């Protein structure tokens, strides 16, 4: 006689076979059959009760980014489902595999305008690579299994809508999940394409290697290729931490969330080797006439961002190793020497502020403390805004075990706290920092209670300047009045304490060490609210000070405002 099992439990068995050990969400009546199954499954799959479905979806996206596996969240019918969208679009745009389980009214009540009933498939279609409503109790485990395969295979979001009555039904316990058959491989590059790329690189006088998150895990290949062909290295923000920040040839990040050496290297380049990235600002920050070599595993991205001279369909690491194996070793060029000096000048300039006693505080002393207490395998979750700029410039990551994540392409504020929850659940023995501005922290601060509930000792750092600083800077650039960007002051440390965390308010440099030492040894979540000056980060995108675009008076005023009078441009070093 065939054994029977509740359909909801059979579905959770599928998740378990795919390695899922926690799932984020808030119960609702339309999701009660799955909650019933989760209750029976306690111990193998934890339900993480968040205080907002958006937190759950963002945490699931962060799980996927940090582990490479599937992140899972859920929302009940109607508002529970719609609250997931911010996190699901973050996952879509950053190519993170996420499964979203969506509640629905009972099958007998569907299409009768029942309470909270809505047709969820059209709403979810744009964000999903797989979007289905389960039609029978027997098909529930198979549909979820198929959704996970699509999410992992296409690096995107799978959404499965489940009528609430189906999860309670008994079905034959015969479904075999496909997880054991899952394979992940890489595309080997075409040899002719590799040879053509090498030919172009060899002829270039000022080549630059630009790598994105598609090169994660290939840090050694990045460094070797740059050394072989005398190339400075620039990374996308999502690739932060792939190589050590201290690497001699590493210039930093490009565009607005950027470093001066990186933007100047790209502006002066005559060849860009563009690996594992879909950088959306390439047409604004890359020279139009530069020779362009692109490497990607997705053929639809080849040639999308720039006129391409050599396109290589292939795995980033394998392709870079093949490139480095061909061609002749280039001696260190004058261009690379100038770029290295430019970076040293930049680092010296940044570090010059680390002991500043200005009040309100600068951010550099804060990051000095973060770097001081950060462990060799620490995880940094950075929220969106000026904090992103500060983090990519000032975090000194080792390029070995440390991890970095943020909301990259969708760039949604409020990513920090959910990402911290995901990081600590996925890597419970590792130190986790969340770094947020006061605007971003306010968007998800209620889920400090989630960190407390599940005993997640995360170090949450809030940079409070009472402004949406990134937007304020945009208003400055477009010569608009500052409007709608100023925030009411909040004591986030006290708010954290009210939610069960330890809280520390810091107003001057002398208070930093004590707060961070206490945070390092804390057995529960910590909120460090650092009151900083509302000062715009140095706009590295404007540092390519072309005399044909800027008057001598404008250049002098710019250098004076940002105290960079003694820091020459790459053009001057060349």
CB 77 within 8 A of CB 61: no
Neighbours of 59 (CB within 10 A): 32
Give the helix/strand (H/E) hosting 172. Answer: strand 170-172
CA-wise closest residue to 290 among 307, 305, 278 = 307
Burial of 65 (0-12, 13-18, 19+ CB in 10 A): buried
Token output for 204: 């270039």
In the sheet that holds 98-104, the strands lie side by side as 46-49, 22-25, 71-75, 98-104, 157-163, 128-133
Token output for 252: 């930093």
Token output for 110: 């569907």
End-to-end CA distance of the chain: 81
Token output for 221: 């290949």
**How much of the chain is in helix, strand and coil states, percent to nearest 5?**
45, 20, 40
CA-wise closest residue to 574 among 273, 223, 267, 352 = 267
CB 441 within 8 A of CB 416: yes
Give the helix/strand (H/E) hosting 250. Answer: strand 250-253
Residue 276 φ/ψ, nearest 5 degrees: 60, 35
CA-wise closest residue to 468 among 405, 505, 414, 417 = 414
- Catalytic positions are 53, 115-116, 256, 384, 470-471, 474
Q: Looking at the DSSP assignment, which residues form a beta bridge with residue 160? A: 101, 132
CB 177 within 8 A of CB 14: yes
Neighbours of 411 (CB within 10 A): 18
Residue 211 φ/ψ, nearest 5 degrees: -120, 145
Token output for 305: 């961002």
In the sheet that holds 291-296, the strands lie side by side as 250-253, 233-235, 207-211, 271-275, 291-296, 310-313
């Amino acid at each position: 006689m065939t054994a029977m099992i509740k359909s909801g439990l059979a579905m959770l068995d599928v998740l378990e076979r795919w390695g899922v050990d926690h799932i984020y969400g808030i119960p609702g009546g339309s999701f009660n059959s799955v909650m019933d199954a989760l209750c029976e499954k306690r111990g193998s799959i934890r339900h993480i009760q968040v205080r907002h479905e958006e937190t759950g979806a963002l945490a699931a996206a962060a799980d996927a980014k940090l582990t490479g596996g599937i992140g899972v969240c859920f929302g009940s019918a109607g508002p529970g489902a719609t609250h997931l969208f911010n996190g699901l679009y973050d996952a879509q745009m950053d190519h993170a595999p996420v499964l979203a389980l969506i509640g629905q009214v009972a099958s007998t009540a569907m299409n009768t305008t029942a309470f909270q009933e809505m047709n969820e498939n059209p709403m979810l279609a744009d964000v999903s690579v797989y979007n289905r409503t389960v039609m029978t109790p027997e098909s529930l485990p198979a549909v979820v299994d198929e959704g996970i395969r699509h999410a992992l295979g296409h690096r995107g979001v799978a959404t499965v809508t489940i009528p609430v009555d189906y999860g309670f039904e008994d079905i034959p316990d015969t479904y075999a999940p496909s997880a054991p058959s899952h394979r992940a491989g890489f595309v080997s590059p075409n040899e002719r394409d590799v040879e053509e790329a090498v030919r172009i690189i060899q002829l270039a006088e000022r080549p630059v290697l630009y790598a994105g998150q598609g090169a994660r895990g290939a840090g050694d290949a990045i460094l070797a290729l740059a050394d072989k062909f005398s190339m400075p290295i620039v990374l996308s923000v999502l690739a932060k931490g792939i190589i050590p920040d201290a690497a001699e040839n590493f210039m930093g990040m490009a565009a607005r969330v950027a470093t001066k050496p990186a933007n100047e290297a790209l502006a002066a380049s005559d060849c860009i080797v563009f690996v594992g990235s879909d950088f959306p600002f390439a047409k604004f920050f890359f020279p139009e006439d530069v020779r362009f070599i692109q490497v990607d595993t997705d053929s639809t991205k080849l040639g999308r961002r720039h006129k391409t001279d050599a396109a290589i369909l292939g795995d980033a690491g394998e392709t870079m190793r093949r490139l480095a194996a061909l061609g002749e070793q280039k001696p260190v060029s004058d261009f690379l020497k100038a770029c290295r000096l430019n970076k040293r000048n930049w680092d010296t300039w940044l570090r010059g502020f680390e002991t500043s006693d200005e009040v309100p505080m600068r951010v550099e002393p804060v990051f000095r403390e973060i770097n001081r207490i950060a462990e060799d395998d620490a995880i940094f979750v950075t929220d969106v805004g000026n904090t992103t700029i500060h983090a990519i410039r000032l975090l000194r990551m080792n390029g070995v075990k440390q991890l970095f994540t943020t909301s990259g392409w969708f760039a949604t504020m409020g990513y920090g706290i959910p990402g911290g929850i995901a990081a600590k659940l996925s890597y419970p023995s590792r130190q986790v920092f969340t770094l947020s501005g006061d605007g971003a922290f306010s968007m998800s601060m209620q889920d400090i209670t989630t960190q407390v509930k599940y005993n997640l000792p995360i170090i949450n750092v809030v940079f409070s300047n009472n402004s949406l600083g990134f937007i304020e800077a945009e208003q400055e650039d477009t010569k608009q009045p500052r409007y709608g960007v100023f925030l009411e002051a909040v004591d986030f440390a006290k708010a954290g304490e009210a939610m069960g965390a330890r809280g520390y308010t810091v107003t001057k440099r002398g208070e930093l060490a004590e707060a961070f030492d206490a945070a390092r040894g804390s057995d529960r979540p910590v909120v460090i609210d650092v009151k900083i000056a509302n000062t715009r980060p140095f706009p590295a995108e404007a540092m390519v000070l072309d005399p044909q675009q800027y008057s001598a008076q404008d250049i002098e005023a710019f250098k004076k405002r940002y105290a960079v009078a003694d820091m020459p441009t790459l053009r001057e070093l060349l």
